[in-house]
Every structure is written in structure tokens, then in C-alpha cells.
Amino acid sequence: MNRLSLLIGALLMSAPATAQTQPDWTLVIHGGAGVLERDKMTPEREAAARKGLDAALEAGSKVLAGGGSALDAVEAAVKVLEDDPHFNAGRGAVFTYEGTNELDAAIMDGADRKAGAVAGVTRTKNPIALARKVMEDSPHVMLAGKGADVFSAEKGLEQVGPEWFATDERRQQLEKMKAQKTSWFDVDMKYGTVGAVARDKAGNVAAATSTGGVTGKRWGRVGDSPLIGAGTYADNRACAVSATGAGEFFIREGVAHEICARIRFKGESLQAAADTVMAETRALGGTGGVIVTGPTGEMAWSFNTPGMYRGKVSAGSAKTVAIYGDEQ
């Protein structure tokens, strides 16, 4: 073997594992973060949550494995979680103080940073589909309240009555809050916001987030989930992020964009950036978590609560679903 062959061999051995080991696609999802501990979770509820997360991973990964876009994948995954009453989004959303359901959602395409969002919608079966309609079929980024409901009907999205969203468990949470005269911070320590981030075979990333907000919210309160840069953000130059937690603090920190900025401008890993921003959010008083994926196929999640409903899968790897903080 000549010196040139030896040199080439040495370079190949020492080269970082990049394109050769980079998965063709990735998908990470969440179903909320909070006080999720084994001794406070019934076996039935745990099993139902894991089943829902697995179904969302299955829906999103099917899109990606078939060569579909990251945007289609995150929408498909979030729709599954919106239809699952065990999560606080779509069906199973929490009640406002007045006993209604007001839904928020956002979606963003990292390829061109187009985004769509809705807040306070009341009739659309899948709010994430409405957020995408705003992005693709309107000149705007965000629509709210009655106007968003009108736009949804005009665009032919499936409309449902309030009974679709309502569940006995969520109604009991509202009644408990009113009876004990506590705030939503005391009642809603399981932030059920759902979200997904993905990278497709073309290297594009996307993010989607959907929520019912917080129990007993008033005066048209809107959290971080539908706010681009706070609870949802995607940029092919850095990453895609979906957040869950105490929205007011995530808005103040600008969590999703802050993570992407650290990756893009400081060259931090996804995990390092997410951990740093979550620590800064905690310092403000905010609890919750984030999921992240990037154009390199890296995946990460970070949360400062006892647990977070979460899952991930990539091309060539098995699905992973977890709830508690000590699960790898």
C-alpha cells in the first residue's frame, strides 16, 4: 500500500460521521410537559398517552418515509394528537373561564420561512390545518377569533360544534379551579400542548404546534404556541422548534427563535442551545419543554419539568416514546 492510499484511509477513518450516517429524515413530537410522575399517573392514562404518541409518530413517519415533505409530516402528526382527547389540543382542549374552547395553532416551513397561525378559533376540527391554510391561502401570517372562524369555513375546512372539543375531564379541571379559587398555574401543571418538528429527505425542516391554552383563561388570552418565534419556529439554516409550557414566559424569552439563533450564529449543537434557552426560561420563572430537529438530521428535546410527553423516530431507527424525566 502506497503513502497516498494510507493517507486517504487515515482521513476517512478520522472524518466526522456526517452524510454517511445522517438519516434521510427525522421526526420529533411532544404532547406537553409538566408534573408527569409515575405515582401521579394511572396505568390507563399512561397507556393511552403512549398509544397516542406512537400513532402520531406513525402518521408523520409514513409521510416522510414515502418521500413527503416535512411540512406534510408535522401536520399529519399534530392532527393525530389534536383528535386524541388525552392531549390539550383540538378534541380534549381545556375550557376558558366562560366554559368554551378557544384553540391556537401555528405551522412554519423552514425552506422559505413561510408561516401560518390562528388564535382563539372555535369551530375548526383541526386547527393546525387552518394554520396551514392561513400560510398558503392568505396574505397573512396570523388570524384570530371570529375572523379566523369565517376564513376556515370559507376555505372548506371541516367544521364541528363545541361538543366535539369538550370532555368531562377538562370540564372538571375548570370546576376545580373555580371552586378552589386557584390560578391556572395551580390546576394545569400538565401542559398538554402538542407539537411536531421534522426534517425530510430534501433536507427541509418544519414545525407545527397546537393547543387549547390554559384552563380558565380569560379576556382572549393567547399563549406562545401560535406566536412565530416563541412557541413555533423553523429555519433551514438552523433548526425547527416546537415548545410547550407556561406560555407567558416562553413569549418573553422568544424561546423557539432564540434556540435557532444560537445554533445559526454561535454554532451550538441542538441540545446545547435547547438546554441553555430552557435554563434561561426557568430563570424567568417559566417551566416547560421543547423539541428540536435540524437540517443535519440531529434531534433533541429539553425540558425543566419532571416529565414531557415525547417521541422521536428517524429513517432506519425504531420509534421512541417517553413520558418521565428518567426515561432515555
Half-sphere exposure of 92 (CA within 13 A, CB side): 20
Half-sphere exposure of 223 (CA within 13 A, CB side): 31
Q: Do the beta carbons of residue 113 and residue 234 sit within 8 Å?
A: yes
Q: What's the rounded Cα separation, in Å, for the pair 277 and 289?
A: 10
Contacts of 140 (CB under 8 A, 6+ apart): 134
Exposed / middle / buried, residue 72 (Cβ in 10 Å: 0-12, 13-18, 19+): middle
Neighbours of 4 (CB within 10 A): 8
Residue 228: strand, helix, or coil: strand
Q: Do the beta carbons of residue 279 and residue 259 sit within 8 Å?
A: no
- Active site (catalytic) residues: 193
Could you tell me which residues are beta bridge partners of residue 244? 289
Q: What's the rounded Cα separation, in Å, for the pair 238 and 276?
A: 16
